[in-house]
Structure 1
Amino acid sequence: MAGSLGVLITGASGAIGGALAREYAAPGTHLVLHGRRREALESLAETCRASGARVELSDIALTDDRQLSAWLADLAERDLPDIVFANAGQNSHVGAAGALEPWEDVSELLAINLRVPMAMAQALAPAMVRRGRGQLVFISSLAAWHGLPVTPSYSASKAGLKAYGEGLRGHLAPHGVGVSVVMPGYVSSAMCDAMPGPKPWRWSPERAARAIRRGVTRNRARIAFPWLLNHGCWWLAVLPESLSQRLLRWLGYGERP
């Protein structure tokens, strides 16, 4: 449809995904919303339709390669989105006294946080290249700058996604396809509440969605917030590792020896 905007959001039944859907909901916008919690997804769809958006929903298993491939192939053929938010994700954390995360949890986390966004790009980027425009948006985290001792697997998945998005941006830019990596700090949500450790400068999902939309509109390579926490996490990556680890323990993100 001429003049319309197509936006795909995975993890739309979560805090940031839902806020992004509401932020983009408007007449002339086609929202494709994916989420695991169907009731929350239906409620979100009603809100977005009330704002004038055309909405379709999906609750396929993203980690099922056959389901994901078929869903994305159908979208690419009939109504390729202009903007794709690979937002679905989850977290896990270590236990006490040196206990690691259960491997089943780690494997599932890596699948949804890293493998699924890469699969989405594999399926949709070629169609965007043929069309000559589009935007892929990967939701990483400030934890991608330096692994947090309380959430090593989550940090690893977000660091991998950051690196992938950065590399893909350079590859796709000459073909008119933009790639943005979003690196949020703490955003109020059930997942945020479940994470161990302090949560400074927490933002509301609505504030995060506005910042993300501004960055995506400008095709910014990296959309990181809040500024002060982003600056501090960046320093953790460049300081000597022994000092970074001491700072993290002092801040409450690790066990003290």
Structure 2
Amino acid sequence: MDRLVFITGASSGIGQALAWRYHQAGWRLALSARRAADITQWAQAQGIPAERFRVYGADVAQTDSIVAAGRACIDAQGVPDVVIANAGISVGVDTGMREDLDVIARIYATNNVGLAATFHPFIDAMVRRGSGTLVGIASVAGIRGLPGHAAYCSSKAAVISYCESLRGEMRSHGVRVVTIAPGYVDTPLTQRNRYGMPFLMKAPRFADAAFRTIAAGRSYRVIPWQMGIVAKLLRVLPDALFDKAMAGQPRKHRETR
């Protein structure tokens, strides 16, 4: 069976690594990002045959843009077997700064509304077919709120809750919903971080673990597994101890710095 995967944020980082992993497994690729030319250049440099991939330029923060990309994918390549809503942004914010309120709005537009808009064009078609997998890329940062990370942490917490809700809605229709919460993955998104990143993974290793998780149809997984243990500990840590542990920790960089 010639399977098809649709991936957003495919121009770099996790999205690009996932695209390569699926290509290695023999899947056709539907790849979307704002920098569509970068995806095409990368795919050609990797020697991916032109008939095995298509690129759809879209900005997930613009609902009509990513919905149109999804519909174009269905028209050109058919209904995907797997849709991975990977596109996201991570930047620190300071609620006391007026300009950061606009940053918060953009993070939510990308990480939350954009995720739902990515899934939207495919849901009815998957329900009619009675099969398909929708994958939301969350983060261990969604487990607890970290100082300086308020927008990103809350957006990823929302991804976890949203996908859990959607999983319940889709279950009776044969459509799976998978939530993957990466720990620290070595990508352009994390390379500017000012703090230690335990259990840092290379993107290809993460992509392989994610590929196997999606294929198994698991509902939720933290990758790597070590960060899964950390996440469970953070979830049960009393507030007083959590606050003490976070005191004095470096904050994530703001967009203007």
TM-score normalised by structure 1 residue count: 0.89
User: 1:220–1:195: structure 2 CA closer, same or farther, 3 Å change rule?
Assistant: same
Aligned to 1:46: 44
The worse-fitting range, judged by mean Cα deviation, of 72-81 and 194-203 is 72-81
Secondary structure of 2:199 counterpart? coil
Q: CA deviation at 1:240?
A: 1.3
Aligned to 1:34: 32
Whole-angstrom distance in 2 between the partners of 1:213 and 1:224 = 13
Aligned pairs, number = 251
Q: CA deviation at 1:177?
A: 0.6
Q: CA deviation at 1:154?
A: 0.3
Alignment of 1:1-257 (within 5 A): 3-26=1-24, 29-47=27-45, 49-50=47-48, 54-77=52-75, 79-94=78-93, 102-249=100-247, 252-253=249-250
Whole-angstrom distance in 2 between the partners of 1:72 and 1:87 = 14
Whole-angstrom distance in 2 between the partners of 1:65 and 1:99 = 27
Q: CA deviation at 1:144?
A: 1.0
Deviations 1:157-216, CA, capped at 9 Å, x for gaps: 000001111111122122111111110000001110123322111000000000000100
Q: Give identity over the alignment, percent.
A: 31
Whole-angstrom distance in 1 between the partners of 2:46 and 2:172 = 34
Secondary structure of 2:247 counterpart? helix
Secondary structure of 1:199 counterpart? coil
Could you tell me which amino acid in structure 1 is paired with residue 153 of structure 2?
S
Structure 2: state its 5+ residue gaps. Answer: 253-257
Q: CA deviation at 1:128?
A: 0.5
Structure 1: state its 5+ residue gaps. Answer: none
Q: Is the 8 A contact 1:128 1:177 kept in 2?
A: yes
Q: Is the 8 A contact 1:148 1:253 kept in 2?
A: no
* Greater RCO structure (CA 8 Å; 6+ sep): 2
TM-score normalised by structure 2 residue count: 0.89
User: 1:66–1:43: structure 2 CA closer, same or farther, 3 Å change rule?
Assistant: same
Q: Is the 8 A contact 2:149 2:251 kept in 1?
A: no
Could you tell me which amino acid in structure 2 is paired with residue 64 of structure 1?
Q
Whole-angstrom distance in 1 between the partners of 2:122 and 2:223 = 27
Secondary structure of 2:92 counterpart? coil
Q: Is the 8 A contact 1:93 1:196 kept in 2?
A: no
User: 1:38–1:57: structure 2 CA closer, same or farther, 3 Å change rule?
Assistant: same
Whole-angstrom distance in 2 between the partners of 1:227 and 1:101 = 37
Q: Is the 8 A contact 1:19 1:209 kept in 2?
A: yes
